Amino acid sequence: MLTFDFSGRNIVVTGGASGIGLCITQNLVNCGARVFILDRETIELEGVSTFICDVADEKAVQDVFAKLGGELDQVDGLVQCAGITRDSVFWKLAEEDWDKVLDINLKGAFLVMKHAMPLLRGSDSGSVVNLSSINGLRGKFGQANYAASKAGLIGLSKTAAKECGHFGIRVNVIAPGLVLTPLIDALPEKIKSTSIAESALGRASLPQDVAWSALFLLSDQARQITGEVLKVDGGQYI
């Protein structure tokens, strides 16, 4: 049984009210963490505080961390799961859909890290885990905006790892493949079966697979790991 102890630690999760983010949140609470969610939805879960927040709105993000700063001395971990898709081949992609995906997936991640920094610097073991995608590494038909945002997130994370290392803050990336969430359930069966057939293990990932990886990267067991991209995809990328 894989277990971690996050007792006494404060961890922020964006997009933590549903999907992979919710699974990570539940795992963190089960391991003793106090979790603060930034999302457009709210959940009722003991040990969790929710802030309704559009991560692409700098004033909204700044206000959340100002409130947290009035309550906490430090944030020990940040997991960024907030993300959206607006799929289309790039020559038919509306400018609005390009902007929206880049705003949430990339600009939002930048803004949250930026305003979380003062509290992360207060921790002696600060760790950031950003959720990208294997499509940010390889591209994906019909996902020019999404792939670009997730590739940009990898570049942002590697840069942040370099800039934050002397504060003792680690920054890593998880790049999932197909993960069975309610969002994926809405996809045509052909798309899901094709993605599963691509994988070496012949199965899709579950949210729990990503959660275990996120908890490891947040933990002291990963204290010498920073600037890395961990693919959790059952071999779909290869």
- Six token digits for residue 172: 């890593």
Query: Which one of 55, 146, 195, 236 is the catalytic residue?
Result: 146
Q: In b/e form, how buried is each residue of 137-151, taking b as 16+ CB within 10 angstroms?
A: beebeebbbbbbbbb
Q: How far apart are CA 205 and CA 179, in angstroms?
A: 5
- Smallest Cα–Cα separation from 105: which of 85, 89, 120? 85
Cβ neighbours of residue 66 closer than 8 Å, sequence gap 6 or more: none
Determine whether 99 is exposed, middle or buried from the number of CB atoms within 10 Å of its CB (0-12, 13-18, 19+): middle
Q: Quick check: is 146 catalytic?
A: yes
Catalytic residue positions, numbered: 146
